[in-house]
Amino acid sequence: MAAGVKRRMGAATWAGAMLLAAGGQVLAASKPAVTPEARTAAYFDSIVHDRAQLRLFLQAMPKGGDLHNHLWGAPYAEDFLAWAGEDGLCVTTPRPTIAAAPCDGPGKVPAKGLAQRDPALYAQAIDALSMRNYTPGAEGAEASGHDQFFSTFDRFGAAAVDNIGPMLAVTRELAAIDHVGYVESQANPNALHDFGAQAEGTAWNGDFAATLAALEPKMPEAIAKARREMDAAEAEAARRLDCARAAAEDGPCQVEVRYQAFVERAQPPSFVFAQMALAFALVEADPRFVGVNIVNPEDHPTSLADYSLHMRMFQFLAARHPTVRRALHAGELAPGLTPPRDLTFHIREAVEIAGAQRIGHGVDIAHETGASALLARMARDRVAVEINLTSNDGILGVKGADHPLALYRRAGVPVVLSTDDEGVSRGDMTQEYLRAATEQGLRYADLKAMARDSLEYAFLPGASLRTSACDPAIATPNAACAKLLAASPKASAQWRLEQAFSAFERAPRLP
């Protein structure tokens, strides 16, 4: 197997290469059919009905990237309650919410020490700040999974807003536990919200160019503020994870993290446009930010009313900032949640007007007008869909055969698994793989292909390993490959994933 031969990273084309181990010794030359990958796939099939064994296997399996991960949604309620204690915040009673000090008024107790002082209230608070024990219609519970899910953000918001660093630390920690090597975190410095809020009072006249011109003089200062916030947050995360000491160890500090700057779609147009303009400018100014997104419930009345306007704003700003990529929440809707008309065009406009390179969720694709043509276009243009199985079940009640994952795969649209809000959902990336196997019938080769695609469609800069002269079957890259790996963060992450797969599949005993 000569190094430097161009090949696609398909499972079949690599089978032969896998016969050579690190260092080149021949492992199984006389039995070419049993590659480490084939052995691993056969093992997966043998344990797929043993849920606990499958969890063990999938936890250890390398998973590439998590491309749809909200910074505020990643921490668990226990983390927010701990930070609330550190920050001197309060927990309200009888319906627990994290609230500002002072904590000695009626219906407020200090968050600090709550777990020890009042374990019952602490447990209620965890339930209120997440999907744990959520039962529709129960006393004190929201009316639906959708309402419960989104209402948690307001309840823990006071402990999130000034804790970007601790949230980053938890994001890294969770990724490392799951063998996720790369996270694209939807993480806004507060400067982005402030910039939108300052513009909120400005009358909206629909003139994009004039509005942008009026905003531009204020943008350099806001960008500088945003970057300083992220500098401080990253330093705080590194301090909490003790990264100075753990620099060489495989763990949270080695997870590669980049950010998406996002827009709050439930806000009025002046707010949304200003925030979006700053988000694009920030991505252009700071290489830690690799794309823009749009958040808030897609079925919020303002999100629905302004949907097409927002897509045209993206179109306008993308033309001004052609290198800035878009991963847009679109089609996170289900029949009954909104009138049918709202299900017919969101994904299409995100692709055709906003020019999204990736779609978040895409759950209502089958309801889109011209869905087959849209699927064909997404397959042709390699518009990847970020699939969030746990979140879609919890918020929309869509799972199993109702989920469009199989539809996307049949159409040849690239798909990747992601967590969305793993802390709110009380899940993790391994659970997404587990659901893909047990509820969607995916097998080892399918999961491995999605893990690879999670880096191929990541917004990490640089050329892809897939189209390079690198041969990942050889543990030490040749000179040309080493040069590419040094220049391309994407290829470098892909190389690490391939080495991780190689080690995983060659283990004497598979987990």
Nearer residue to Zn ion within complex by CB, 258 or 496: 258
CB of 147 to Zn ion, least distance (A): 16
Minimum distance from CB of 461 to Zn ion (Å)?
A: 23
Of 97-136, which residues contact Zn ion (CB under 5 A)? none
Residues 430-449 contacting Zn ion, CB under 5 A: none
Give the shortest CB-362-to-Zn ion separation in angstroms: 12
User: How many other CB atoms are there within 10 angstroms of residue 409's CB atom?
Assistant: 18
Cβ closest to Zn ion, residue 70 vs residue 448: 70
What's the rounded Cα separation, in Å, for the pair 324 and 331? 22
Question: Cβ closer to Zn ion: 82 or 405?
Answer: 405
- Among 160-168, 191-199, 346-354, 417-425, which window interacts with Zn ion (CB under 5 A)? 417-425
Among 37, 66, 342, 420, binds Zn ion (CB under 5 A): 420
d(CA 382, CA 399): 24
Residue 342 or residue 420: which is nearer to Zn ion going by CB? 420
Instruction: For 18-70, give the secondary structure using H, E and C.
Output: HHECHHHCECCCCCCCCCHHHHHHHHHHHHCCCHHHHHHHHHHCCCCEEEEEE
Q: Are strands 358-361 and 98-99 parallel, antiparallel or unpaired?
A: unpaired
The rounded distance, in Å, linking the Cα atoms of 112 and 81 is 8
Output the CA angle 503-483-231, nearest 5 degrees.
Answer: 80
Query: Does residue 66 bind Zn ion (CB under 5 A)?
Result: no
* CB of 83 or CB of 262, closer to Zn ion: 262
Cβ distance to Zn ion smaller for residue 418 or 468? 418
Q: Please state the closest distance from residue 70 (CB atom) to Zn ion, in A.
A: 6
CB of 390: closest distance to Zn ion in angstroms?
12
Number of chain positions touching Zn ion (CB under 5 A): 1
Longest dimension (CA), the chain: 77
User: Contact region for Zn ion (CB under 5 A) — 242-250, 258-266, 340-348, 412-420?
Assistant: 412-420
HSE-CB at 258 with a 13 A cutoff on CA atoms is 24
The H-or-E segment that residue 227 falls in is: helix 219-240
Tell the smallest beta-carbon distance from residue 445 to Zn ion (Å). Answer: 27
Binding mask 151-180 for Zn ion (x = CB under 5 A): ------------------------------
With residue 489 as reference, give the H or E element that holds it. helix 489-506
What is the sign, positive or negative, of the torsion defined by CA atoms of 266, 269, 271, 272?
A: positive
Q: Quick one: 394 or 489, whose CB is closer to Zn ion?
A: 394
Per-residue binder mask for Zn ion (CB under 5 A), 369-408, x = binder: ----------------------------------------
Alpha-carbon span 459 to 111, nearest angstrom: 39
In angstroms, the CA 447 to CA 426 distance is 22
CA distance 469 to 378: 27
Residue count of the chain, please give it. 511
Of 66 and 420, nearer to Zn ion (C-beta) is: 420
Residue 471 in tokens: 């041969």
Binding piece for Zn ion, criterion CB under 5 A, among 54-62, 143-151, 319-327, 415-423: 415-423
Residue (of 273, 293, 284, 264) closest to 215 by Cα position: 273
Q: Which tokens go with 148?
A: 């419960």
Of 20-28, 414-422, 449-457, 478-486: span binding Zn ion (CB under 5 A): 414-422
- Tally of CB atoms within 10 A around 489: 18
Smallest separation, CB 385 to Zn ion (Å): 12
Cβ-based nearer residue to Zn ion, 314 or 316? 314
Do the Cβ atoms of 11 and 37 come closer than 8 Å?
yes
Taking the complex as a whole, how short is the minimal distance between the CB of residue 215 and Zn ion, in angstroms? Answer: 26
CA of 95: how far to CAs of 79, 126, 205, 258, 343, in Å?
19, 11, 42, 36, 34
Which residue has its beta carbon closest to Zn ion?
420
Q: Which two three-digit tokens encode residue 2?
A: 């000569």
Q: How far is the CB of 217 from Zn ion (least distance, A)?
A: 33
Stretch that binds Zn ion, among 100-108, 229-237, 242-250, 419-427 (CB under 5 A): 419-427
Give the residue with the Cβ less far from Zn ion, 82 or 334: 334
The single residue listed with the structure tokens 């470098």 is: 492
Binding window for Zn ion (CB under 5 A); candidates: 30-38, 237-245, 416-424, 437-445? 416-424
Residue (108 or 358) nearer to Zn ion, CB: 358
Least Å distance between CB 386 and Zn ion?
8
For the chain, the 3-state helix, strand and coil shares in percent, each to the nearest 5, are 50, 10, 35
CB of 329 to Zn ion, least distance (A): 5
Q: Write down the H helix ranges in 87-142.
A: 114-117, 119-128
Q: Which is nearer to Zn ion, 97 or 185 (CB)?
A: 185
Q: What is the contact surface with Zn ion in residues (CB under 5 A)? A: 420
